[in-house]
Amino acid sequence: MLFQKYFYTEEGRNNIDRARLILKSEFGLVGPKNDHFGRTEERVLVWEDSEGVGRYRVHFYTHFEYDKQQFFDLIRFSYWRNRQRAKREIFEQDPMKPALERIHQSIEGKIFEAPESDGECSIDTMMDQIFQ
């Protein structure tokens, strides 16, 4: 199972606004609640389960510079991996997968994936890491 993935484009093409709109309207993501870093839905959206618990989040960076390299429209999907939010049933349903695939398809311009950022392992391994 994929627990984290991010991708970006060479130059800004307004992919962030399009991604935000799709995630909110098609997948029901909402702005963060009680974010102690002060982030708003301009920077992050959250998928909540039927109990109102955030299970995965999507971060947006319109421009990002790292090691003298420019990144545009960087979008990062990730499940929360802590005891309060991790739930086997949610991981088995994998609600992040269709949203990630839909956004990946909607991106304009050349897409670069950051393979070193991929977090992939079995659900059992992830649950063991969280609850040890």
Calculate Rg over the CA atoms of the chain: 15
The 10s digit of each residue's pLDDT in 72-127 is 888 999 998 888 888 899 999 999 999 999 998 998 888 887 756 667 888 998 88
| pTM summary value | 0.87
Task: Give the Cα separation of 81 and 19 in Å (integer).
Answer: 23
pLDDT at 68: 82
pLDDT at 55: 93
Delineate the domains of the chain, giving CATH numbers in brackets: 2-130 (3.30.310)
pLDDT at 77: 93
Task: Give the Cα separation of 21 and 17 in Å (integer).
Answer: 6
Q: Which helix (H) or strand (E) holds 105?
A: helix 96-106
The 10s digit of each residue's pLDDT in 21-80 is 999 999 999 988 866 566 666 789 999 999 999 999 999 988 878 788 778 888 999 998
